[in-house]
Chains A and B, each alone.
Chain A
Amino acid sequence: MGEMTQNNNEEKLVYAKPSLITDNTMHYCPGCSHGVIHKIVAEAIDELGMTENAVGISPVGCSVLAYDYIDIDWAEAAHGRAPALATAIKRLSPEKLVFTYQGDGDLAAIGTAETIHACNRGENITIIFVNNAIYGMTGGQMAPTTLLGMKTATCPEGRDSSLHGFPFKIADMLNHLPGVRYITRQSVHTPAAVRKAKKAILKAFTYSMENKGTSFVEIVATCNSGWKLSPVAANKWMEEHMFPEYPIGDIKDI
């Protein structure tokens, strides 16, 4: 990524802003994973030639304004309801590529029912699940995926299972549903990880267009503002603490 090569004094372009990323200034904090994830989603849509046929559903949370940044048709859903919107759009317009883009609070707390039932019906949609273990937009509260011992504004002493329950591994839970075709867990903290995550999104979108079931791509991500760490330290913390709880790799691909 970002590597430049030179031949015979002519510069060869090997990297550019994806054509589907708009010129709007992103509101995300410096170091946030959302920018990179938006980029690979935009590239995947473009590379599959789906620009004219794609519909994205943005959530409530930090990525509520995703529609400002990726130049396709979008609907902004009520908190947690994106899979219900996607269900109807895909069933009514089966030729469309329909995907949701949701955070951990949106997908695994308030929208748990919509998530599970869309997956259980095997809706031919892709769910992109950005798991950074915290509510970013509201200022760093406990999420269903917050790690045990992790401090947030609503568990200032650290998450205690006797008070707050356990980190919710919803991707593993969805593994039991026959309607789900593809479940993978990725990250975007290194160039190699970004390439793998993009491949996963390309695969998920391709499966959605083949109408064979739900694809679920979890991206374990950082929220350095919410975690109160520098971007570099947040990446390191994620590797040391998030990955043992949310291991990277395919969970299901049939």
Chain B
Amino acid sequence: MKEEIRLMKGNEVVAEAAVRAGCDGFFGYPITPQTEIMETLMELKPWETTGMVVLQAESEVASINMLYGGASAGKRVMTSSSSPGVSLMCEGISYLAGAELPCVLVDVMRGGPGLGTIQPSQSDYFQVVKGGGHGDYKLIVLAPASVQEMYDFVELAFELAFKYRTPAVILSDGLIGQMMERVTLREAKPRLTESEIERLYGDWALTGRKNGRKRNIITSVRLDPIAQETFNHHLQEKYRLIEQNEVRFDTYMTDDCDYLMVAYGSSARICRKVVELARNEGIKAGLFRPVTLFPFPSKEIAAVASHCKGVLSVEMSAGQMVEDVRLAVGNDKPVLHYGRMGGAVHSPEEVFTALKEMLVNKN
């Protein structure tokens, strides 16, 4: 598969990206607004070309545990779902983190709580970035703001997941998933062969106890509390390393801004327009877009905020990421939240009005 430029939906490009990134297996369950990912894979039939396995599981509980199995064997495996489905996966995600298994999960968020709506939302920041499952664990979380990033982050997520032996999440939403944009599909990379997997991951993966090596065991149970604590220290060291090395972000007109908006994903696209509306009225607004939500770009936000009069965190939620923005910026200037909820999407005009009423007119 050569490089191509196409007009595609965010969800559809995830399927293309999986095949072209050398993914070994996709295990999923239908849920709006992300089902096109598995539908596109079933149309692409990669089992006939690259040998990639695509399987519709009986539930999200099963599909996340299929990832646990596939990742145990050193394979590049992924799944996708949307908010209620990710709730079901949280047990498995905790086990994946506890067993240090690399895999990729795409979460195309919709409005909640409960069955909620099928419209876009960003109300699962807490669930995905802060935990969701039990125990002290973190996930690498990438937040795409375009169809191209939906494509690019699949390969990046696999790279990071295997680099750190940890699950990586692409935290998207129904707007990015359903939107069509121009996208560059890159030349396909081949899947790893069995012998490559044995060479690269043979020290931990279930490749079969060959050539006299010791048996490999994938487990998250350590009954001795001191052994479990030692392992938890190891996990925390890994997360500190990720924080040092993997922070990614984007800025727009922040050099001279008086008012800083912090937003990711769909909200960042909307806030880019707000910056323009504000600048047209002589208000110096800027946008900081975290690309990684864990690791969170705290220092970088603090640096930009240091010359601002106030910060507005904009998310389609009741205010979740704003807590991390406050921790980054501190208490010496206002750090406020604005956002529509439950599947409603804020317009640039609504955000601009909020920016003026909550920050600009208060100064």
Contact = CB atoms under 8 A, between A and B. Distances in A.
Do the two shown chains form a genuine complex with each other?
A: yes
Interface of A: 51-55, 57, 64-65, 67, 71-78, 81, 84-89, 91-93, 96, 113-114, 117
Interface residues of B, number: 39
Interface string B65-87: 11111101101010000000000
Question: What are the 7 closest A-B residue pairs judged by CB atoms, nearest first?
Answer: A85-B69, A88-B69, A84-B65, A76-B219, A117-B58, A81-B65, A88-B66
B57 interface: yes
B220 interface: yes
Nearest to B223: A65
B115 interface: no
Interface string B215-228: 11111110000000
Interface in B174-217: 194, 206-211, 215-217
Given A64-B221, A81-B62, A114-B62, A88 B77 contact: yes
Given A52-B209, A75-B206, A78-B68, A93 B55 contact: no
A130 B86 CA distance: 32
Given A75-B68, A78-B91, A87-B69, A55 B206 contact: yes
Contacts, number: 124
B69 A76 contact: no
Contacts of A74: 206, 215-219
Contact of A85 (B59, B65, B75, B208): B65
Nearest to A68: B217
B69 A67 contact: no
A92 B209 contact: no
17 contacts: A57-B69, A65-B221, A71-B215, A72-B209, A73-B208, A78-B65, A81-B62, A81-B65, A81-B68, A87-B55, A88-B27, A88-B65, A89-B206, A91-B25, A92-B53, A92-B77, A96-B73
B61 to A, nearest CB: 7
Q: Which residue, B92, B207, B208, B221, has most C-beta atoms of chain A within 10 A?
A: B208
A32 B91 CA distance: 30
B92 A81 contact: yes
A54 B208 contact: yes
A96 B59 CA distance: 25
Contacts of A96: 73, 208
A73 B209 contact: yes
B69 A75 contact: yes
B67 A88 contact: yes
B156 to A, nearest CB: 22
Given A77-B68, A92-B25, A96-B208, 4 more contacts: A51-B209, A75-B217, A88-B68, A89-B73
Interface in B298-328: none
Contacts of A72: 209, 215
B338 interface: no
Contact of B70 (A76, A77, A89): A89
Contacts of B124: none
Contact of B75 (A73, A87, A92): A92
B149 interface: no
B210 to A, nearest CB: 4
B25 A53 contact: no
Contacts of B206: 55, 73-75, 89
Contacts of A73: 206-209, 215-217
A65 B66 CA distance: 20
B219 A86 contact: no
A84 B69 contact: yes
A142 B61 CA distance: 24
Given A55-B73, A85-B72, A92-B75, A113 B61 contact: yes
Nearest to B216: A73
